[in-house]
Chain A
Amino acid sequence: MRNATTSILTGLALLTGAQAIAASDIPAHPSGIEYEELVFEPPVASEFRHELSSGVPVFMAPSHEFPLVTIRFSFKGGEYMEPEGKAGLAGLTGQLMRSGGNSAFGPNELDEEFDFLAADVSASVGGTTSSASINCLTSNFDEAYGLFVDMMKTPRFDEKRLGVLKSQILEGLKTRNDDGLQIAIREMGFLMWGMEYFEGRVSTKQSIESITTDDIRALHDRIFHPGNLMISVTGDFDEQEMLAVLEKTVAGWSMGELAPDVPQPTHVFEPGVYYYEKEQPQVQVLIGHRGIERDNPDAVSVEIMNDILGGSGFTSRITNSVRTREGLAYTAGSVFQNRVEYPGIFMSYFFTKTPTTAFATKLVFDEFETIQKEMASTDEIEIMQNSAIETFPRTFESKAGMLGIFMSDERTGRPEGHWQSYRDRVRGVTQEDVQRVANEYLHPEDAVILVVGPWEEIKAGNAASEADPNRIVTMDAFFGGNATELPQRDAETMKPVQQTVKKD
């Protein structure tokens, strides 16, 4: 038995005679430990980049640890291309592409083939990019890959499978008011982006029911063609052989019209307090406004500022005050969701019991004020700089992840040398920068405060349970006590319904 096995994961060194560090050499505090320098140079995309004769870029990074190979076809195009009234088309297109058969096999037969070959195959149409990928054993690569390419280029889009998928989605729509966080995220999307723009839009019973295989085929044909394509390959393969395989795949695949650029959002949001009534023992709170573009020259300073504010777990201020010090929430923090084509969203978030909603909100607003009015200490900034610099190699840790970055960078025109200069730019962030970007990009006075929960109890605050008078806060502390009730929505249609929530 032993002879028939290969030991790929074996400890290599023998453990003999290692000398322990003497107890007296153990420093009293970890700041006394000295480290060997770790040299890391970020990989350069061009060293992994190839091009097919048709101009399709191919990124390859082989490794022979396991007999598996992964090929990812990434396409420009996504949800933003859904026609009006067809919200949900993107998601369905990806799902039906995967599960609706190919030109050679019906859906069941194709699934059986993939499963028997133990191939992991996926297809998806995302927000702005789409993909089809396969991970399979090298031993049956030819067979599995052939079936996969047929599926990607000429999916069957079986009607019966569409029926099954639609019924699953329609059943899922009914659950959209069950979970408070789901409500909060959806309503925040509506407030920030509007109900029409693809970032805020959600599917409805009508939009899903209206989707036909013709709609799906049309979207597929606009996205999945070589004009929108980039390819990445990782795992156990030979680069020259792989290039020949891919050349064959793309040859004769007709080039469609290029996917359009992502449209700009036009919705303007109204700052203020908003609430969505729901009877539940914990309240979801989102505080947000529009943020920055990815390539904003201040992006690195904003990153450090937000790490200090609420983006870096326990070490950040919001987490420390809301969670660690006051014990008001398990999850609390803040994030800048940067977008390439337009400013994304800045958002702070926490979940707390009903009466302490106002108190926790005040703590977050106090942190906004502090980081705007007072300069952060050099120590605090240095911790975040060190973290960004020392964790930098992890960005490229997995080969698949690294190639994903290269593809995204090329597609979105990320400035040349971005990664090479990243650590220097982080190191260059000053106390003044942090305070300046906090004032320039945080706008608490123009934010939306969205809460989901029982409003009357939320509004009243924590007077009944707080022993320290200085910690008593009600929702009157924000926007002059004004608040807007959001309509209860029918889970399936998203249309406002009559208020049916009981109030005591």
Chain B
Amino acid sequence: MRKSLAVAGMMLATGTSAFGQQVEPIEYTLDNGMKFLLLPRDEQPNIITAGWISPVGSVNERPGITGVSHLLEHLLFKGTDAIGTSDPELDEQYREQLTEIREKMRAYTLDVQYDRMMKGEIDNPWDPANDTDELRAMRAEMTAIQDKQAEITIKNEFDSIYTSNGASGMNAGTSNDFTVFYINIPSNKLELWAWMESDRLDNPSMRELDAERFVVIEERRQRLEATATGKLDEQFDSMFWVASPYGWPVIGWMSDLMAYTEDEIYQYFETYYQPANLTGVIVGDFDPAEAEQVIESYFGRLENKRAAPAPMVTHTVPLLGEVRFTGECDCQDQVEVRYRSVPFGHPDEAVFDVMADLLNGRTGRLYKSLVEEKEIATRARASNQSNHFAGSFSFSGVPKGRAELVDLEAAWYDELERLKTEPVGERELQKIKNQKAADTFRGLEDNSSLFFQLAITEAFGGYEYLNEMPKRVQAVTSEDIMRVANKYFNEHNRAVALYTRKGGVKPLLTLEDVKASLPEDMAGMLMPQIEMQLEQMSSLGLEELKSGLEEMKSMDGQYPPQLATAMEYMKQQVELRIQELESAGESNATEGDDQ
């Protein structure tokens, strides 16, 4: 086997390492401030992944326009003055007519429909099913204009131009912190990419705005409302982040999705999508000198029309007490315990990442302890998410069999105590570092993976992070882990979410469960006793059973732990017998009344 010296060294070293991989793109900035990162690479011949990123996301929004970053991302696929219509002038007229009727409908809705909602007459003022006759008439008028506009619309031309030129995987993504647009193109189509992208940055038409709102609403339903835990997760997020804009969903609150005006959307676009706020990234099989020429010609045309956007201002306040959120859904019982961690680039970020890895995987602490040893979880994991301006670290788990959510929560606090008080062993820590180092290579093997890493780190402050972070990971010590665990994780700054299955009931304990719970020597002795007591129970009356149950409850916590399941079982059987007797009494009484 060929050996790589740098890597062989890393595997032997403990602590500091000669970590070798460097990502060094060509950096290039246009006169208008738009920056480019170019990374030529011929491992995947004839193919380029290209795109651009704006450091704008839901954190830049405010109540009333939540979700606008994401809707805008959708609208940027709707063509331009040149793309998407066979008659730009007529199209312009229709767009003006649509704006007019839309403004009328909005004003009417905020007045009449909101009033009806506040009086309790309707639930959702924006739902067409709640239209008044007047509003219904306006909506019909809007539909009629849209139908006329459709006659001169070249359907999805933006996409079909790319498609017929061999581009694939055209998409975009919006997060809390950034919005990114990307595509795979054949090597000879770089000029087409520059044409299309600079054109939509220059004069997007935002055609079909009204239909696209409904598309986004369906996306919200698909991703969130029609999923098992989506709606609860969204509320837990908003409780966890308190003041910070990370508290609202990227896709936006339902009430806001219908409400943005075209003007609000354009202003948002002009502020955050001016060239000085953007970075272009090209990875793959291309000649950088030719690329530079194309970039200069096309993206060099773009102008900054507004002052630079204001930085994100509202940082979150610390959690001053424990937050607990309980909810029911059509879902597995599950628990999450979440803490504030640190933002992207913070010196402790690497420590959180290593800590999550110590806990995860089949050789991680959570699997060993919660899944294998204690057998209270079927799934348990930890994760750190360092966003641009703030981060969170969380534990989550799904209980096994009769284990309760609180059992998982308690087991997590035990693990946390270990992290706070015991130094991590040398081999355990080295294992994580070895995996992290190998994963760094794995992440560089593919054009699109490289594209996203370059784009996102650059949007967050600089791609150099890609070269710096692996070194920081290799430098994490067991002392760092103890320090960070003690500093960030305590009972006063955590948020706990406990979800249980709607209408769910715990399965009843059986004699088999009791037998399995007892140590072997005790089982032989106790099982016959338990069975005898069960037999005796059938001869007891309601009052005797009730006082017996009270007595058993009063002794909770005083039994040796190995008897806990046996006692639970006895209480369960007494309760069942009481229910049986009581319901028999009730049905007798009912029959009596009828007679």
Residues of A within 8 A of B292 (CB): 15, 18
Q: Give the residue name and chain of the A residue nearest to B436 (CB).
A: A118
Question: CB within 8 A of B430: which of A10, A69, A116, A140?
Answer: A116
| Bound Cα distance from A63 to B228, whole angstroms | 44
Please state if B40 and A13 are interface contacts (CB–CB under 8 Å).
yes
Q: Which of B2, B379, B441 neighbours the largest number of chain A CB atoms within 10 Å of its CB? A: B2
Does residue B541 face the partner (Cβ distance < 8 Å to A)?
no
Assuming the contacts A108-B363, A467-B131, asked whether A139 and B7 have C-beta atoms less than 8 A apart, the reply is yes
> For the complex, is A135 an interface residue (Cβ under 8 Å from B)?
yes
Query: Given contacts A5-B22, A164-B372, are A11 and B38 in contact (CB under 8 A)?
Result: yes
Residues from chain A with a CB closer than 8 A to the CB of B6 are 4-6
Q: A23-B301, A26-B195, A116-B434 known; A6 and B22 CB under 8 Å?
A: yes
Residues 217 to 233 of chain A near chain B (Cβ within 8 Å): none
Contacts of A236 in B (CB 8 A): 1-2, 4
Q: Is B525 part of the contact surface with A, judged by Cβ < 8 Å?
A: no
Inter-chain residue pair count (beta carbon < 8 A): 304
Interface string of B338-381 (1 = CB under 8 A from A): 00000000000000000000000111000010011001001100
CB contacts under 8 Å to B, within A316-355, are 319-320, 323-331, 351-353, 355
User: Does B150 sit at the interface, judged by CB under 8 A?
Assistant: yes
- Say yes or no: A115 contacts B296, CB within 8 Å: no
Give the residue name and chain of the A residue nearest to B211 (CB): A327
Cβ contacts under 8 Å, B43 to chain A: 63, 65
A280: Cβ under 8 A from any B Cβ: yes
Q: Which residues of A contact B434 (CB under 8 A)?
A: 116-118
Identify B363's interface contact among A37, A112, A280, CB under 8 A.
Answer: A112
Is B585 an interface residue when CB atoms closer than 8 A count as contact? no
Taking A167-B378, A324-B208, A386-B165 as contacts, is the C-beta distance between A11 and B427 under 8 angstroms?
no
Write the A11-38 contact mask toward B (1 if CB under 8 angstroms, else 0): 1110100111111011111110101111
Q: Which of the segments A74-82, A170-178, A269-277, A414-422 contacts the partner chain?
A: A170-178
- Return the CB mask of A36-72 against B: 1 if under 8 Å, else 0: 1110100000000000000000000001111111000
Of chain B, the residue at the smallest CB distance from A242 is B1
B400, A116: Cβ atoms closer than 8 Å? no
| Chain A: minimal CB distance from B505 (Å) | 12
Contact of B398 among A171, A178, A471 (CB under 8 A): A171
**Interface 1/0s, chain B 1-27, versus A by CB < 8 A?**
111101110010000001011111110
B297 near A26: Cβ-Cβ < 8 Å: yes
Give min CB distance, B62 to chain A, whole Å.
25
Cβ 8 A contact of B168, one of A11, A38, A391: A391
Report yes or no: B400 in contact with A171, Cβ–Cβ below 8 A: yes
Per-residue contact bits, chain B 408-430, to A (CB 8 Å; 1 contact, 0 not): 00000000000000000001001
Q: A21-B293, A68-B438, A315-B160 are in contact. Are A394 and B184 (CB under 8 A)?
A: yes
List A contacts of B191 (CB < 8 A).
33, 35
Query: Which of A27, A28, A66, A139 makes the CB contact (< 8 A) with B11?
Result: A139
Specify which chain A residues have a CB less than 8 angstroms from the CB of B210 in the assembled complex.
Answer: 327
- Flag whether A264 is at the interface (Cβ < 8 A): no
Q: Does the CB pair A325–B398 fall under 8 Å?
A: no
| Number of A residues with CB within 8 Å of any CB on chain B | 110
Decide if A330 touches B216 in the complex (CB within 8 Å).
yes
Q: B77 at the A/B interface (Cβ < 8 Å)?
A: yes
Whether B156 contacts A330 by the Cβ 8 Å rule is no
Contact B47 A394 (CB under 8 A): yes
**Is B139 among interface residues, defined by CB-CB distance under 8 A?**
yes
Please judge, given known A-B contacts A9-B24, A11-B40, whether A64 and B288 are in contact too, CB under 8 Å.
Answer: no
Which of A20, A99, A315 is within 8 Å of B293, CB to CB?
A20
A23 to chain B, nearest CB (A): 7
CB pair A15–B188 under 8 Å, yes or no, is no
- Given A67-B7, A116-B431, A330-B215: A175 in contact with B21 (beta carbons within 8 A): no
Is the CB–CB distance between A314 and B159 below 8 Å?
A: yes
Q: 1/0 per residue A282-315: CB within 8 Å of B?
A: 1000000000000000000000000000001111
Contact B442 A139 (CB under 8 A): no
Q: Tell me if A498 counts as interface (CB < 8 A to partner B).
A: no
How far apart are the CA atoms of A67 and B440 in the complex, in Å? 12
Interface residues of A in 429-466 (CB under 8 A from B): 464-466
Known: A15-B28, A23-B297. A282 touches B222 (CB 8 A): yes
Cβ of B298 under 8 Å from chain A: yes
Q: Considering only CB atoms, which chain B residue lies closest to A28 in the complex?
A: B82
Closest A residue to B441 by CB, please name it: A66
Is A504 at the interface (CB under 8 A from chain B)? no
Tell me whether A389 is interfacial, beta carbon within 8 Å: yes
Q: How far is the CA of A285 from the CA of B38 in the complex (A)?
A: 43
Contacts of B111 in A (CB 8 A): none
Q: A7 at the A/B interface (Cβ < 8 Å)? A: yes
B140 within 8 A of A: yes
CB of A367, distance to nearest CB on chain B (Å): 13
- Residue numbers in B under 8 Å from A319 (CB-CB): 156
C-alpha gap A138/B8 in the complex (Å): 9
- A13 cross-chain contacts in B, Cβ below 8 A: 26, 40, 287-289
CB neighbours of B26 from chain A (8 A): 11, 13, 15
- List 8 other contacts, CB 8 Å, given A319-B156, A468-B144: A7-B22, A21-B294, A137-B438, A138-B7, A164-B371, A172-B378, A281-B226, A387-B168
Chain A residues close to B by CB (< 8 Å): 4-13, 15, 18-23, 25-31, 33, 35-38, 40, 63-69, 99, 108, 111-112, 115-118, 120, 135-142, 160, 164, 167-168, 171-172, 174-175, 177-180, 236-238, 241, 280-282, 312-315, 319-320, 323-331, 351-353, 355, 382-384, 386-387, 389-391, 393-394, 397-398, 464-468, 471
Question: Can you show 12 pairs from A to B with CB atoms below 8 A apart?
Answer: A11-B39, A13-B289, A69-B1, A118-B439, A120-B442, A139-B11, A175-B228, A282-B226, A313-B159, A325-B155, A351-B218, A390-B165
Interface residues of B (CB under 8 A from A): 1-4, 6-8, 11, 18, 20-26, 28, 38-41, 43-47, 77, 82-83, 127-129, 131, 136-137, 139-140, 142-144, 150, 155-156, 158-161, 163-168, 170, 184, 186-189, 191-192, 195-196, 208, 210-219, 221-222, 225-228, 287-290, 292-294, 296-298, 300-301, 329-332, 361-363, 368, 371-372, 375, 378-379, 398, 400-401, 427, 430-431, 434-435, 437-439, 441-442, 444-446, 450, 501
